[in-house]
Amino acid sequence: MDKTLVIMAAGMGSRYGGLKQVDKVGPSGELIIDYSIYDARMAGFNKVVFVIKDEIDELFREIIGNRISELMDVSYVYQRLDNLPEGYSVPEGRAKPWGTAHAVMSCIGAVNSPFVVINADDFYGREAFEKISQWIDTADFSKNPPEYCMAGYILKNTLTENGHVARGVCEVDENGYLVDITERTKIMRRDGKVQYTEDGENWVDLDENSIVSMNFWCFSPSFLEETKARFKDFLDENRDNLLKAEFFLPFVVKDMIDSGQCTVKVLQTKDQWFGVTYREDKEKVVKAIHEKVAKGEYPKALWE
């Protein structure tokens, strides 16, 4: 069975201050995205679909895509602001992509088998790729309603010292299935406690051992059409906030769970997340990668 990796790389990294997807962190000039692709390939994935914006196409192919295409089947889809339902138009002043669910929706026609979705700028660790690859090998994709899965990370392993992060905080039942997921866009450690805020003023404690989503999902192709159907509802519900509103993957998953249209198996990993949410994060990421290379977890020159 083909195993496809969909990498969401359309975001320009506004908080980070640049196109962070092409910033070098490895000892031989590797990018964070290289380590995800390497881990996926080692776990048995043979196809990569990059979700990018038109304006970074040439740069992205030059720095990432062309060399990966020598090792895996590579294709591209484009997350475009005007990829909207008939009768809708881009509101004046909207420049930001519509969000992670819209990015995945952009894959309609390009992905026709079970696929994994990840962010371009997150270091996930090999365990999650191995666990989800093994899950794909035994999954029954003919189930109705369909069963999906996600990698569940421990919240304290996914924080940065340099600001807040966005995470989908999960409720998981005794059988390891996702019951609920709540998108918290501002989570950080404050005075020794992990907290979140919705308004920037009132902070609420979170259990640092909570299971969170890092946008590491495995779906069947039917999920793409489900997402497309819900995008119109999202636009209607947010008609007064279309300059800023984002269509997140957890919104779609939660709605499908609540309506009995899918189940989601949570595969927990104890791996440490690394990412470059902020420019100050880069030093820590570089150090962590070099330590893993020194331990023999990765070769010094990843693709040689």
Predicted pLDDT of residue 12 = 44
Residues in the chain where the model's pLDDT stays below 70: 12-22
d(C-alpha 178, C-alpha 152), whole Å = 10
Give me the phi and psi of 82, to 5 degrees please.
Answer: -90, 10
Burial of 189 (0-12, 13-18, 19+ CB in 10 A): middle
What percent of the residues of the chain are helix, what percent strand, and what percent coil, each to the nearest 5?
30, 25, 40
Domain ranges of the chain: 4-294
Helices marked H in the chain: 32-42, 57-60, 66-68, 100-105, 126-138, 222-237, 249-258, 282-294
Predicted pLDDT of residue 22 = 59
pTM: 0.92
Predicted pLDDT of residue 18 = 47
Predicted pLDDT of residue 59 = 83
Complete DSSP assignment for 254-287: HHHHHTTS-EEEEEEE-PPPEE-SSGGGHHHHHH
List Cβ neighbours of 226 (8 Å cut-off, separation of 6 or more): 252, 256, 261
CATH code for the domain defined by 4-294: 3.90.550.10
Cα radius of gyration (the chain): 19
Predicted pLDDT of residue 272 = 92
d(C-alpha 200, C-alpha 5), whole Å = 35
